[in-house]
Each structure stands twice: as C-alpha cells, then as structure tokens.
Amino acid sequence: MLSKEDILNDLSVISGIDPGAGVSQGAERALEAYEIDNLTLQTTSTSSMAEQLNQAIQNHEPIVVTGWNPHWKFAAFDLKYLDDPEEVFGGTEEIHTIARLGLQDEKPEGYEVIDNFFWTEDDMGEVMLEVYEGTDPEEAAQNWVDANQETVDGWIDGVNTVDGEEFSLVLVNWDSEVASSNVLALALEQIGYDVSLTTVENGPMWASLESGDQDASVAAWLPITHEEFFDEGAVDDLGANLEGAPRIGLVVPEYMDITSIEDLKA
C-alpha cells in the first residue's frame, strides 16, 4: 500500500480527460471545495488518461484520475472511488438520449428507435472492453448487435422502415459514448437510415442539438454531470438509455491507502 504521506509527496496533478467533460468541471469544483492547493487538474483526453493510469499501475505509483462508470478500467484494474462527503460529483447519474426540437415530426421512425434505445451497464461494458482490447468500435458494435439481436429487435420492432434517409448522431469521444453511439447507429441502419456519427467536444455537442445541426445524441449525462449544458426547452430530452450505474468522481488504484477526496489535501 502507498501511504498518504508517499502519495502527497509524489502527486502534483489529477489526471483528467477533455476540459469540456462534466467530470473535469467536477474535479475543479472538488479542488476548490476541499481546498486542495497542492494539486492541479491536468486535462488531456480519455485515451491519454487511460495510458497514464496504465503506466502508473505498472510502476505502482500514485495517480488520481477523473473517472466514471460504466467504464472498462474497472474491469481491467483494481480501482476505487474516493469518497466525496461534500457531494461535489453528485450521486447516481443517468445517461439520456437527447434530440433536436422537431425531430419527432420530421423523422418519426428514427425518433421512435432512439426513444426505445435502452440497455444495461453490462451491455455497454461488452462493447467498451472489446474496443479497449483493440477492436475497431464499429466492429465491436456489430459483434454486440450480432450476439444481441433480440435486444435490438426490442428497439426497432413495429417501427416503419425508411429508404436511406439521413440520420445524424453526435457524440464526444468518451469510451462509453463511442460504444452506445455505434450500437444505436447499427439499429437505425437496420430500419433503413443512412447514419452519420460526428465526434465533437461536449459544449459543441449540446450546441449542435440546440441549433438543429445534428439530430440526436445518446451522450447526455444528467442530472449533475452535464447540468450546465442542459437547457430544458432548447432540446428534446427522451429520458434514460442507461440507468442505475452511471457515476463520476475521482478514482485511484486500490493500492493507495486513502479513502476520501479530503485525503488529497496536503
């Protein structure tokens, strides 16, 4: 185990992901709320955070990452969330499907499918882990669909087919959302849509739905994570596509002998 003293001696950053992520904003709020002046948030990207985590664990060094569930890292490594007594990161979240206003009238078939889209943490985990192990996201999504066609049928059965109409999904490059967006794209293709996936930053994702540039997204984390991006009335909230499991916070390897965000304060 690494003692609190060793940890505080070695550690100077929280290894973050993209600056626009809700969990990045949560980490900034945590540094302030817990008066932690000895660490700064280093924002990079999801893949870089994962690489740093992997390296630190191989070297048995201290590391704090901005983490979330569902995520493959919990299957790959022994990790724990630090307690958050100030509740800076909120509690259990839901992942919502969000559409541009007017989509329901203009593309009712696609709207019905995205509204039906709902799966579990285990489902998402299967796709995510395969991508982590090196499979291309489209292929991992196809493998999941092939093995779970009855779940997909639950989203598309009874929905009229279309003839090559375009449908645009927008996402941020987070592993969880890469998995869900690729799977939903295949379901929409099964009823005849020509689906585009566009990857942007979090703020622009919400803006592209508000402006109507994009049709929908399955990457909205509510109520806390994306609270400041979510303008009720400016987008159509279709409710949860995954619930019960989503959570964000500060995550560390089990071998670090600390339990709370408070322990990061020197």
Binding site for ligand PBE (CB under 6 A): 17, 21-23, 68, 174, 176-177, 202, 221, 225-226, 248
- Are 114 and 97 a contacting pair, CB within 8 Å? yes
In the complex, the smallest distance separating the C-beta of residue 6 from ligand PBE, rounded to whole angstroms, is 28
In the numeric block, which tokens belong to residue 77?
A: 């490594």
- Are 226 and 89 a contacting pair, CB within 8 Å? no
Q: Angle at the Cα of 122 (from 119 to 128), degrees rounded to 5?
A: 95
Number of neighbouring beta carbons within 10 Å of residue 238 = 20
Alpha-carbon distance of 77 to 41, in angstroms, equals 22
In the numeric block, which tokens belong to residue 245?
A: 């499991």
Amino acid at 56: A
In the complex, the smallest distance separating the C-beta of residue 248 from ligand PBE, rounded to whole angstroms, is 5
Q: Angle at the Cα of 124 (from 96 to 144), degrees rounded to 5?
A: 125
In the complex, the smallest distance separating the C-beta of residue 202 from ligand PBE, rounded to whole angstroms, is 6
Alpha-carbon distance of 17 to 2, in angstroms, equals 24
Nearer CB in complex with ligand PBE: 176/214: 176
In the complex, the smallest distance separating the C-beta of residue 24 from ligand PBE, rounded to whole angstroms, is 7
Nearer CB in complex with ligand PBE: 156/178: 178
Nearer CB in complex with ligand PBE: 100/247: 247
Nearer CB in complex with ligand PBE: 23/103: 23
Residues 6+ apart with CB under 8 A from 194: 164, 165, 166, 167
Nearer CB in complex with ligand PBE: 68/144: 68
In the complex, the smallest distance separating the C-beta of residue 239 from ligand PBE, rounded to whole angstroms, is 17
